[in-house]
Amino acid sequence: MNRLDALKSVIASLNSEIAALKAFDFDALVAATATKERSLDGLHDVTRDEITPEVRALVEEAARLNETARAYVNLMAANVRRQLDQVTGDIAAYRRPAPLRVA
């Protein structure tokens, strides 16, 4: 797989991850993430030739999509936090406990 193909695969995988996040489809998310990781591994095997405008554009697109996916994950986490706060009535009830102090 050459650099362009690997980057295009990363972009396709990120689009699949975003679609899976939107649909709350865990199996599709796992599959898309695995494909993305394989594609990223393929980028390590390519030569360090000059970065062309096409490669730069693909890298920028991948970075933008990665930030979009991260935003979805953060929104989902915030939603879960809000719902847990509502259920418990105590904001700190489910969060990391304070470290134990030894006297």
| pLDDT at residue number 96 | 62
For 5-35, write each residue's pLDDT tens digit: 999 999 999 999 999 999 999 999 999 999 9
Q: How far apart are CA 71 and CA 66, in angstroms?
A: 9
Q: Which tens digit of pLDDT belongs to each residue from 49-90? A: 667 889 889 999 999 999 999 999 999 888 888 888 888 776
DSSP H helices, 1-103, are 3-23, 26-44, 53-88
> Residue 94 to residues 42, 79, 84, 85: CA-CA distances in angstroms?
40, 14, 8, 8
What pLDDT is stored for residue 69 in this prediction?
A: 95
pTM of structure: 0.76
* 35, two tokens: 């494909």
The owner of tokens 């998310």 is 29
